[in-house]
Homo-oligomer: A and B are copies of this chain.
Amino acid sequence: METVPPKTIKVLQQPTSAAWVEQAIAHLDIILLDHSHCERKAAGVALNLMFRYPSSAKLVRSLTAIAQEELAHFEQVNQWLDRRGIPLAPLSAPPYGAGLTAQIRHQEPLRMLDSLLVSGLIEARSHERLGLLGTHCPDPELAAFYRGLMASEARHYGVYWTLATTYFDRNVVEQRLEELAQIESELLSTLHPEPRIHS
């Protein structure tokens, strides 16, 4: 059963704090580098799900498109890094991703449901935060770039939500999404001292 995904921002239980915006704008170079890692990781997560569920045709088709798009964004963010003379470098991850991953139950089919919803939530939060960067970034060209990416993140959230409701009952999806969204907001309730897209 396919259903229309609920409005993106509505899924997030708490909006991003002004403190995050301030931290991010004060460290735009690190935010850009972290953003590059986020896009690569997002492609990796989509590909991993394709490996894990190779017979789920709709999932494979949808996530192939997402992985391709994340790689295209990865390339675009890396061009911004180049332009600003920021070398590619590893960056420690904030607790956000691991905190959400820890919520994924191990037994199938719950693992699939949780994996889809966690990815969807990360996309929804990225949509919100890239939107904030698009509003507050002092470099108008970079701000426009962020606003351009925002729409994709919202669409990706929709894809994950649609996949969840393809393979699971809508009531089950909505209830679990609410639980995970609660945890997602809690994970961000204390600002991580290192500036990151998900600090």
Contacts and interface: CB of A to CB of B under 8 A. Distances in A.
Nearest to A37: B54
A87 B51 contact: no
A2 interface: no
A71 B60 contact: no
Contact of A55 (B44, B72, B90): B90
A115 to B, nearest CB: 17
Contact of A47 (B47, B57, B61, B78): B47
Contact of A43 (B47, B87, B88): B47
A54 B89 contact: yes
A179 interface: no
B44 A51 contact: yes
A51 B64 CA distance: 19
A157 interface: no
B47 A40 contact: yes
A50 interface: yes
A88 B55 contact: yes
A181 interface: no
Given A71-B64, A75-B64, A87 B40 contact: no
A68 interface: yes
Interface string A3-43: 00000000000000000000000000000000001001001
A43 B60 contact: no
Contacts of A67: 43, 71
A71 B89 CA distance: 25
A108 to B, nearest CB: 14
A74 interface: yes
Given A47-B40, A50-B40, A74 B64 contact: yes
